Amino acid sequence: MAEPPGAPHRTTGSTLLHPLSGLLGIPLDQINFVACQLFALLAAFWFRIYLSPSHASSAVRHAFATLFGIYFAVFCFGWYSIHLFVLVMMNYGIMNMASIPNIHRYSFVVAMGYLTLCHISRIYIFHYGILTTDFSGPLMIITQKITTLACQLHDGIGRQAEELTAEQNRLAVKTRPSLLEYLSYLLNFMSIIAGPCSNYKDYIAFIEGRHVHMKLLEVNWKQKGYDRLPDPSPTGAVMYKLCITLVSLILFLTLTKNFPMAYIIDNEFLDKTPFLSRLGYLYVVTQAAKPKYYFAWTLGKSGYITYFYE
């Protein structure tokens, strides 16, 4: 995670936080990522309080979530974020022009094909060189959402209810989303950087203010003695997730300092270390890298819970 002293801050994203990157010795793209996730968490609290369904229309909530998501993408990835927007718009065209029996197939092929081309070009053409800012994470999240929505739209319009399971019936989408709804679902600020991948109907229920009612009906709130629908608070769940985030960060910084990934390509390590020892070290460093992903995913989930409390 740390850069050697004097290393250039190679990133296609914003350089606003470069002084902080130099102070901490952490690559700028990672600083940008964490800053956006923390800001998203604060924005989620603001969104929950000041743009609740009782204070703002669904269109305003969609627009706010979309614009902030686009800003975060540009801040983190700069002009490489265009890959996210190109993929989203290509699949919006497919969703509106493709026949319902084939909409899930075309969406899957285009989304996975574009993601695959980006991975191949990054590895084999640029050799991880100019693409120092890795935009593949958000691209994979968007690919999941695109294919999920396409399959649910196919279930809702192209199949009979009796052909579906109970879960498929619950999640089936009966009408094609508008452009604003589509952009909001794919690019909203709470999930564009590191997920999670939600279902389209659940997201729309949240935007329209129906999600709490739907969830509480599932747990039979009247049978538990409530005389009205209680308003659940996300505070406890968010604090729990933030504790996991902090532990993951500490583990990652500690383990990677003692077991650096770069050592596996060191000439002395390759030439003089026995094969089984190299294999063992490789296993250890891959395990040491895991907390980085737990940190990112859990921090993203914290912001998501804040205003989409389930």
Q: Give mean pLDDT, residues 119-123.
A: 81
pLDDT tens digits for range 161-208: 888 898 999 899 999 999 999 999 999 998 898 878 889 998 998 888
pTM over 0.85: no
Dist CA 151 CA 154 (whole Å)? 5
Place of tokens 């985030």: 245
Q: How many CA atoms lie within 13 A of 81 on its CB side?
A: 18
At 212 the pLDDT is 62
Residue 7 has a pLDDT of 41
Other CB atoms within a 10 A radius of the CB of residue 16 amount to: 12
Residue 99: pLDDT over 60: yes
Give the integer Cα–Cα distance in Å for 280 and 202.
44
Burial of residue 267 (CB within 10 Å: 0-12, 13-18, 19+) is exposed
1 — pLDDT class (breaks 50, 70, 90): very low
Sign of the dihedral through C-alpha 232, 205, 193, 70: negative
Distance set, CA 209 to CA 57, 122, 212, 260 (Å): 10, 41, 7, 47
Report pLDDT digits (tens) over 251-299: 887 887 788 877 887 887 888 888 888 888 888 888 888 888 888 878 7
Q: pLDDT digits over 55-90, tens only? A: 889 999 999 999 999 999 999 988 889 999 999 999
As a whole number of angstroms, the longest Cα–Cα distance in the chain is 72
Task: Provide CB contacts within 8 A for 135, sequence distance 6+.
Answer: 76, 77, 80, 81, 83, 84, 118
CA dist 36 and 29 (Å) reads: 11
